[in-house]
Amino acid sequence: MPSSKRPRLRHRYSIGEWYGTGFEALTPNERFHRAQVEIELDALTGTPCPFQKDTNCNKKGGVCSLRLYQQVDDGVVSGTGPLVTTCPLRFLEDDTIFRWVGETILQTDHPIVLSEVGFLDRLSPNSSTESDDEDSRDYIGRIDNVVVHPSRNPIDWCALELQAVYFSGKAMNQEFKMLNEGEKVALPFPAAHRRPDWRSSGPKRLLPQLQTKVPTIRTWGKKLAVVIDEAFFASLVGLEKEKHLSNAEIAWFVVGYDQTPRGWKLTRRDVVFTKLDSSVKALTGGVPLSKERFEQQLRLELGALDPGHPLGLKAG
């Protein structure tokens, strides 16, 4: 007689890319030895970053992105869905975004790119001690990159911000410890719970950047470009789009990642033009639950705390 037991489907986020290599593309031996290094050193390893020229990775653990993994009962573990970018330097692959922003906003595919340009200054604009010496300036806010047309005079440019996603839950050293226990023939199911934290990444981190920078940049007659991945973009609620760049204050450059035999390749997905107000609403918005759905949550929580509670429903 066939079993009536329902299959159990589990989902957890774990490493998507590790020092630029797709986690699923690593051999069991490679995963094991990389985990050994992370556990033994417990510090930056000096591993080169594949997305920056002649630069070592500056992110402890070397995790560039997350991916959701699923498993039915004790079966094969497989990745599902898009990568979620956790390191903003991941966006720098092959200078794709700089060419894309240059083509879209400045009509050049060979822009000059400046990094960490001062925007907010502690000094009063009328201070007699103000200096043009970059090393002496006490900036309290910077723009990630400024993309400049190589030949136009007067100077033509746009600001560019890169926004990756934070995650909440258990740290990645839980994964390293599991992998360090020995070579696992199959792709392992993630050791701990974690998830992309859209609220920290959007309303708490990106939103203040937009509200601080866009009003000034638009009075200068310039645009702000923002690079995010498709998973982040999908978390925005009801973003109102402008048809033309000339009517927009922000240009969202949405990237994706296409799977290759050894990992993932950054690709262009979409450009979306918006005004600041629409972007603010999309980052902070959401649809309230119905009272019935909200109270259902309460009953589930009560049932989890006390299965015998008269108001509760057993979770699961």
Summarised one tens digit per residue, pLDDT across range 263-281 is 899 999 999 999 999 999 9
Task: Convert the pLDDT of each residue in 104-150 to its tens digit.
Answer: 999 999 999 999 988 887 765 555 445 555 554 566 688 999 999 99
Q: Please, what's the b/e burial string for 139-155 (b: 16 or more CB within 10 A of its CB; e: otherwise)? A: eeeebbbbbbbeeeeee
133 and 256 together in one domain:
yes
Specify the pLDDT at position 293: 87
Whole-number pLDDT of residue 129 = 47
Split at pLDDT 50, 70, 90, the class of 296 is: confident
Give the pLDDT of residue 287: 67
In a domain, 2, yes or no: no
The pLDDT value recorded for residue 186 is: 87
Question: What amino acid occupies position 194?
Answer: R
What would the pLDDT profile of 210-264 be if each residue is shown by its tens digit? Answer: 999 999 999 999 999 999 999 999 999 889 999 999 999 999 999 999 998 878 9
Domain extent, residue 160, equals 89-164+198-284
- Number of domain units in the chain: 3
User: What pLDDT was estimated at residue 138?
Assistant: 64
Per-residue model confidence as pLDDT tens digits over 8-23: 899 999 999 999 999 9
The sign of the dihedral angle between the CA atoms of 26, 32, 36, 39 is positive
Same domain, residue pair 112 and 230: yes
Residues 78 and 187 in one domain: yes
For residues 69 and 199, the answer to whether their CB atoms sit within 8 Å is: no
Beta-carbon contacts of residue 85 (< 8 Å; ≥ 6 apart): 64, 65, 91, 164, 165, 228, 229, 231, 232
- Give the chain's mean pLDDT: 88
1 located within any domain: no
207, 75: one domain: no
Q: Are 60 and 154 contained in the same domain?
A: no
CATH number (domain holding residue 150)? 3.40.1350
pLDDT in tens, 55-70: 999 888 999 999 999 9
Mean pLDDT of 88-104: 97
